[in-house]
Chains A and B, each alone.
Chain A
Amino acid sequence: MSGRVSDGTEDMRVPEIEVRDLYKSFGDNEVLRGIDLEIGQGEVVCVIGPSGSGKSTLLRCVNLLEEPTKGQVFVGGTEVTHPDVDIDEVRRRIGMVFQQFNLFPHLTVTENLTLPQRRVLKRDKAQAARVAAENLERVGLSEKANAYPSSLSGGQQQRVAIARALAMGPEVMLFDEPTSALDPELVGDVLAVMRRLANEGMTMMVVTHEMTFAREVADRVVFMDGGVIVEEGTPARVITNPAHERTRHFLSRLLDPAMADVEEESAHEAEGEGEKPHRPN
């Protein structure tokens, strides 16, 4: 889609996102235990894994919403974790989309897009309005420009949230389970917007449970469990043919029945241990 190599190992250019030996603890709870990850320019990486595996924390460490306990994060060559870095300046280059949308409820859709541009990027009114209109069009919500977020469906809110992040002109987009809070019938529109964004060459790091999206859109899939990266590779490798027991176990519990035949074998193997998705009878 982005025309990038998808062998997912070596990259000639400077990576857009680079994570080096990252650790993060909340009190005694060590959530990340030594993460190394590189994401090339224009690459789409999906991070999958069971809840509590640390994937959201990893994502939030990239724009320093969580401060790592140890390790380094680079975005576009800037060390985000450096003590002297102007984090507000770095964050302008990193768009983030949240599970709960987090639109500003006291502002209209257009104001949600223009206020950050004006306050943070100091764009003038006309320019901010123009960029806002462009990006609303991009997510197909021009007709909702003057609506308040509360009058929109979850899917529409999430698309506005994506447009809000895009209006800042980011180099990288982070998605934290963007469709997990949506009713199933609204997921498709959001994924379509993300798919288009990927095709346009945006560098994207996506924490998701949408295996179909990961399979079709991602250049690379990273499977995390217990605060470490268990395996990574092309979607075909990681999702269709996982090398690790833990990956197989996770996928067997997650994949919908339509996919079950593909995963049947590994699913049965995985049922031998731990909590079971369904009892063998």
Chain B
Amino acid sequence: MTDASTKQVQPRKQGLSRTQKRALSRGAQYALFVAAVVALAVSADWARLKNQFAQADLAEQMFPEIITLALKNTVLYTLSGFVFGLVLGMVIALMRLSPVGPYRWVAGIYIEIFRGLPALLIFIFVGVAVPLAFPGTEIPGGTYGKVALALGLVSAAYMAETIRAGIQAVPKGQMEAARSLGFSHARAMVSIIIPQAFRIVIPPLTNELVLLFKDSSLVLFLGVTLEERELAKYGRDLASQTANSTPILVAGLCYLLVTVPLGFVVRRLETKAGEATR
């Protein structure tokens, strides 16, 4: 016993103290970082990189079309998918909370399936499988309709779970108060519960909007006309035409132009919601 304890103490006395060790370890990490940056800076072919990624005239050529066409389409695809997904998600959330068993099961199965599948597969399904399986069926709205359907199907599954959680987060007393005033269950849901639930789910739904904004790039796999191109497709087309990566970089910046502020808004909303519930 005493042996063990002295053995434990001794090495520390001979070696470094804990603070010293920590300082050493941190120093090593800084050194590694600086070394990596320097190695990268030295080894990189800057002229070539500049030529590949930052050709100012090529970037200039992209304006204003990348905004007026590509970004506009990205926004349109995202919003149409979001609205469709929100409506469908709302219905599925209410089915999930229904006292009728089969509704709950159908909603549960839907959610499991569409959360478990890659979004890309859904796009391929909507773009290729549906027209093949049901010849002559035309999804209304052309590409816009297809994208709204594909994005909506995917996002509805996530939004349904978010909305369900939001509805369940509204205190039980609210429903009881509404019922005691003579509201029917459905009317109480619409007038009292859902408005409160939406306040709760605005931050996660905005987050979902950001995800959809990025997922709209999967339109790439649907085959679109020139006028229907969105940011990713637009950037890729130009990149292959010019054999240069600058358009990709510019398209990427356009995404960030929207996603970064939106992400900021989400965090603000979350903080505010956190304060409100305290």
Give A contacts to B, CB under 8 Å: 63, 65, 88-89, 91-92, 94-96, 98, 100, 102-106, 115-116, 119-121, 161, 164-165, 168
Contacts and interface: CB of A to CB of B under 8 A. Distances in A.
Nearest to B191: A119
* Chain B binding surface, main DSSP class: helix
A98 B183 contact: no
Interface string B181-218: 11110010001100110010000000000000000000
B177 A91 contact: no
Interface of B: 171, 173-174, 176-184, 187, 191-192, 195-196, 199
B182 A91 contact: yes
Given A88-B179, A102-B173, A164-B181, 10 more contacts: A91-B181, A98-B173, A98-B177, A102-B176, A103-B177, A104-B178, A106-B196, A106-B199, A119-B183, A165-B181
Nearest to A103: B177
A94 B182 CA distance: 9
Given A115-B191, A119-B187, A119-B191, A88 B196 contact: no
Given A88-B184, A115-B191, A119-B187, A104 B179 contact: no
Nearest to B177: A102
17 contacts: A65-B179, A88-B184, A91-B180, A92-B182, A96-B180, A98-B177, A102-B177, A104-B192, A104-B196, A106-B195, A115-B191, A116-B178, A116-B182, A119-B187, A121-B182, A168-B181, A168-B182
A147 B198 CA distance: 21
Which 8 residue pairs across A and B have the least CB separation, nearest first?
A102-B177, A92-B182, A96-B180, A102-B173, A120-B182, A116-B181, A91-B182, A88-B182
A91 B179 CA distance: 8
Contacts of B178: 104, 116
B185 to A, nearest CB: 9
A103 B179 CA distance: 13
A104 B183 contact: no
Contacts of A63: 180
Q: Which of A65, A120, A165 has the most CB of B within 10 A?
A: A120
Nearest to A99: B173
A103 B191 CA distance: 13
Contact of B174 (A65, A96, A102, A121): A102
A94 B173 contact: no
A164 B183 CA distance: 13
B183 A116 contact: yes
Contact of B176 (A92, A98, A116, A164): A98
A91 B187 CA distance: 14
A102 B179 CA distance: 12
Contacts of A102: 171, 173-174, 176-177
A165 B180 CA distance: 9
A122 to B, nearest CB: 11
A4 to B, nearest CB: 25
Which of B181, B184, B191, B199: most chain A Cβ within 10 A?
A: B181
